[in-house]
Amino acid sequence: MSAPARNAEAAARWPRRLVPELLDELAPDDPRAVRSRRDLRVVNRIMGHAGLLARALDAVVPGVPLHLVELGAGDGTLLKRLAQLRAARWGNGIVTLLDMNPTVAPATLDALGSFGWTVDVVAADALEWLEQSPGDPNAVTFANLFVHHFEGERLARLLAGIAAHSRAFVCCEPRRARFALVGSHLLWAIGCNDVTRHDAAVSVHAGFRERELTRAWPTGPGHWHTAETPAGAFSHLFVAQRQP
């Protein structure tokens, strides 16, 4: 059996399944939500997503002028970590943090500003913003643990909107794999609350594997190069770059 056939068979045995995540249904100031966001910062460090994204973005960030757009930015902690890792290399620029309910603290904004970055926090639905805003075709868009919230027609709309607004796109998502699922059930060991534990397992079932995002990526206009690989112990990395 060929590799593509084996991949298709594996995906058919374990199809993506989206279930609402508890954090998305809680008010931003709900104590369980506040605790879960704190848990997620720890989980992100364990998964090494800042480093994974920084290395992937290195290949597609064009230098100056820099315009980064983060979808599902939450509290901006990940972008702050990227700034600490790469601000000297990427230079000054504009960064847009987009989230339905952004929770970016003033201290985080001050830290990003200290790197010479101009920060724009946007409270909006990603699909609506991508379809209605004028956008910047030279922007580099990225997302962390965000794209797995979409499937079917909504996923197609999301990726089409990103392609229309960006010269490149990078995302780090859960990997739909047995080892990742086992890991999600062990988060109690590092003190994660019930919201985080529930959402971690749900995220694995909604995650990606093989070349699922490549197949979902819009085919036109323009020519794109895509790369899609497992990353770290639990994650799935996708990179799309518009070709000249």
Residue 233 inside a domain? The answer is yes
C-beta separation of 69 from 98 below 8 A: yes
Beta strands in 53-134 (DSSP E): 66-71, 93-99, 117-123
Q: How far, in Å, CA of 12 to CA of 150, rounded?
A: 18
What's the predicted TM-score (pTM) here?
A: 0.89
Query: At 211, phi and psi to the nearest 5?
Result: -120, 40
Output the pLDDT for position 124.
95
Q: Which tokens is 174 given?
A: 């859960």
Q: Which tokens is 224 given?
A: 């794109």
Structural domain that includes position 48: 19-242
Number of structural domains (the chain) is 1
Residue 14 inside a domain? The answer is no
Residue 35 inside a domain? The answer is yes
Residue 3 inside a domain? The answer is no
Residue 88 inside a domain? The answer is yes
Query: At 146, phi and psi to the nearest 5?
Result: -125, -45
pLDDT tens across the length of the chain (244 residues) = 444 444 444 556 789 999 999 998 999 889 999 999 999 989 988 888 999 999 999 989 876 668 999 999 989 999 999 999 998 888 888 999 999 989 899 999 999 999 989 999 999 999 999 998 877 888 999 999 999 999 999 999 999 999 998 999 999 999 999 999 999 999 999 999 999 999 999 999 999 999 999 999 998 666 899 999 999 889 999 999 998 7
User: What burial letters (b/e) apply to 21-34, b meaning 16+ CB within 10 Å?
Assistant: bbbeebeeeeeebb
Q: How far, in Å, CA of 84 to CA of 54, rounded?
A: 10
Output the pLDDT for position 137.
80
Residue 128 inside a domain? The answer is yes
Output the pLDDT for position 22.
94
Question: Cα torsion for 178, 189, 46, 167, to the nearest 10°?
Answer: 60
Residue 206 inside a domain? The answer is yes
Output the pLDDT for position 64.
65
> Which CATH number do you get for residue 231?
3.40.50.150
Residue 6 inside a domain? The answer is no
Residue 59: partners with Cβ closer than 8 Å, 6 or more residues away: 239, 241
Output the pLDDT for position 9.
46
